[in-house]
A and B are shown apart, each in its own frame.
Chain A
Amino acid sequence: MEKNEAVKKKAYDPTFANEVFKNVDSGEGIKTCMQCGVCAMSCPLKEHMEYSPRRIFALVRMGERDKVLGSRDIMLCTSCYTCKVRCPRKVPVMDAMHGLAHYALVQGYVPRKETAVFGRKFWDCVYKLGKIDEKAVAQNFMLADGMVAGIPKAMENMPMGLAMLFHHRMKLLPEKPIKEIKAFRKMLDLAEELGKGGDK
């Protein structure tokens, strides 16, 4: 009896699925997934994934919270839109993967540190300036763990940086904020509050 209940729980535990539908951006789209696997077949990085989007969605339904929110796969999306285009049930696969990644980070999981840090620095720059300052985002990313850890990373990326500089593809002066930056930030604060994505 006990064993049966454990099996039953494992096969179908709606608690986490409901949490996903409620809190994760585009998470409710997962409801319509019929597990056909077209997304998994279409993904350019499928060979590098442990689960694939299809199995991630199955794990959501099985209540495997840690497995889903801790999986590197949810941060391996290149945003190529192939899965979204091909899904026969019109599941916004890509958006749901992005939603899960955002939610995982808010919940304190770090499915993929490098991308999480880079994405954070990117967003901080958007918030600060309203625009992206490519060199500042790259620098902040490389120095995220301090000078000592940053030097080898900077050295590794130096040849590309120099090539860009040499071919005048780098702005030398710091980027200025957009004119209405204050109102812009207020809008983002309000969107953060009114949107989904999980409570911080």
Chain B
Amino acid sequence: MEYFLYWGCALEAGDKHYLVSIEPVAEVLGIHFREIEDWNCCGASIGYIGGNELSGEILAARNLALAESQGHFDIVAPCSSCYVVLNKVNRELQANPAHLAKVNSILAVGNLNYKGSLKVRHIQDVLINDVGVDKIKAAVKHPLTGVKVAGYVGCQTVRPYGEYDSVEKPVVMDKLLEALGAEVVQFDSKMVCCGSGIFFTEQALGFQQVDKILTDIEKNGGQIVSTACPMCQMNLEVYQKKVNEALGSNHCLPIVFITQLMAVAFGLHPNKAAALNHNIIPAAPVLLGGH
């Protein structure tokens, strides 16, 4: 199984533990990733402030065109924001030849051209549909037995197209967590937005979102939160202490990427592969307690 991995900017810095854990997990599952040579930022969800819609589309289209010229593989984006932007533009270009021609006239400045032949997919899509639950189960050496994990899906991981999961009642993350042997916690705020890209500048509102989500998880017995989105990870973890200070709450929930949980369950190194040393709220006590 070979794919392009478009990891994006966040996974090189603030959400490094996502990228660190993806690579060894992929290796165990027989997935080979290649980088898109000279990729650029996707524009994320805040790009619209400085750039018009066409500029935003160019950011995505350049990556698509580069990938297409470097091989014929699906593009896998682990970051939900990258996934949603690349996927949205890809679908629009594929559906609208006139628009594709306009975009190509701009890409031509850099000698690029996109035919529209590629697919953009989320990492969870690949895990559930290409790898499959059985293969994941077979790779588990240390099942997460008794660990109560809340699969927090957020927004952009499945919306707006619902290509691999329901946009209202998603189940894929829970299925993956069950395959790891975890005890999956059900909670209503599974898809309540964390504040996303405007969290940083609207902190008072963002804190309320985070408090709402974490309170719901705690009420339902969650010990640790799984996410597949860098922004959810950042907003829920890095600001947790500040949320407590601002709202008088007492949250102390580790927030980890689903690939970190996979690395732990596959028996890989807790820091070198599961990247647990990058978590500010320690996840190791909950995850490695029994080993």
Contacts and interface: CB of A to CB of B under 8 A. Distances in A.
B40 A184 contact: yes
A124 B197 CA distance: 16
A131 B9 contact: yes
Interface stretch (B23-31, B45-53, B119-127, B257-265): B45-53
Interface stretch (B13-21, B70-78, B137-145, B217-225): B13-21
Contacts of B280: 163-164, 167
B110 A180 contact: yes
B192 to A, nearest CB: 6
B9 A187 contact: no
Contact of A195 (B46, B55, B191): B55
A124 B50 contact: yes
A132 B160 CA distance: 24
A120 B156 CA distance: 22
A79 B13 contact: no
A119 B50 contact: yes
Contacts of A45: 193, 202, 205
B252 interface: no
A6 interface: no
Contact of A171 (B12, B38, B84, B106): B12
A16 interface: no
A76 B280 CA distance: 28
Q: Which range contains the number of A residues in contact with the other chain?
A: 35 or more
Nearest to A106: B52
Contacts, number: 200
B110 A80 contact: no
Interface stretch (B56-64, B170-178, B179-187): B56-64
Given A114-B201, A187-B58, A99 B9 contact: no
The DSSP consensus for interface residues of chain A is: helix
Interface string A169-187: 1110000001110011011
Given A123-B50, A187-B110, A160 B242 contact: yes
A166 to B, nearest CB: 8
Contacts of A171: 12-13
A196 B52 contact: yes
A163 B277 CA distance: 12
Contacts of A70: none
A195 B192 contact: no
Interface residues of B, number: 65
Contacts of B279: 167
A122 B49 contact: yes
B151 interface: no
B201 A115 contact: yes
A25 interface: yes
Given A81-B155, A168-B16, A183-B109, A191 B54 contact: yes
Contacts of A183: 109-111
Contacts of B155: 78-82
30 contacts: A45-B193, A76-B198, A77-B198, A78-B198, A79-B81, A81-B84, A82-B155, A85-B167, A99-B48, A102-B48, A112-B202, A114-B201, A120-B50, A122-B50, A123-B50, A134-B9, A134-B13, A141-B200, A160-B239, A167-B278, A168-B16, A168-B277, A169-B14, A170-B13, A179-B38, A188-B59, A191-B106, A195-B55, A196-B54, A197-B52
Given A78-B195, A132-B9, 20 more contacts: A44-B193, A80-B156, A80-B159, A82-B155, A84-B159, A85-B167, A98-B48, A112-B202, A115-B198, A116-B49, A119-B46, A126-B41, A134-B13, A141-B200, A168-B277, A169-B15, A171-B13, A178-B39, A180-B38, A195-B53
Interface of A: 25-26, 44-45, 48, 75-82, 84-85, 95, 98-99, 101-102, 105, 112, 114-120, 122-124, 126-127, 130-135, 138, 141, 159-160, 163-164, 167-171, 178-180, 183-184, 186-188, 190-192, 194-197
